[in-house]
Amino acid sequence: MNDIVDYFSTIPSLHRGLILVGGIAIFWMIENAFPLFRFNYKKWNHAGINIFFTLTTIIVNFILAFILLLASEWALKNNFGVLEWLPELPLWLYTLTGLLLLDLIGAYLAHLVQHKTRWLWHFHLIHHTDTWVDTTTANRHHPGESVVRFVFTAAAVLITGAPMWLAFLYQSLSVVFSQFNHANISLPEKLDKYISYIIVSPNMHKVHHHYVLPYTDSNYGNIFSIWDRLFGTFLTLPKEKIVYGVDTHMEASENNRLSNLVAIPFQKHRSPQVLPEEKI
Say what the pLDDT of residue 188 is: 92
- The conformation of residue 251, written as its DSSP 8-state character, comes to S
Share of the chain above pLDDT 90, in %: 86
**Cα–Cα distance for residue pair 28/89, rounded to 1 Å:** 38
3-state secondary structure of 246: coil
Cβ-contact 187, 195 below 8 angstroms: yes
DSSP assignment of 15-76: HHHHHHHHHHHHHHHHHHHSBSS---S-HHHHHHHHHHHHHHHHHHHHHHHHHHHHHHHHHH
Query: What's the N-to-C CA distance of the chain in angstroms?
Result: 45
pTM: 0.93
Helix 164-182 / helix 2-9 crossing angle, nearest 10 deg: 90
Give the best-scoring range by mean pLDDT among 221-230, 252-261, 267-276.
221-230
Q: Check whether 89 has a pLDDT greater than 80.
A: yes
| Structural element, H or E, at residue 86 | none
Say what the pLDDT of residue 40 is: 87
For residue range 191-243, list pLDDT tens digits in order. 999 999 999 999 999 999 999 999 999 999 999 999 999 999 999 999 999 99
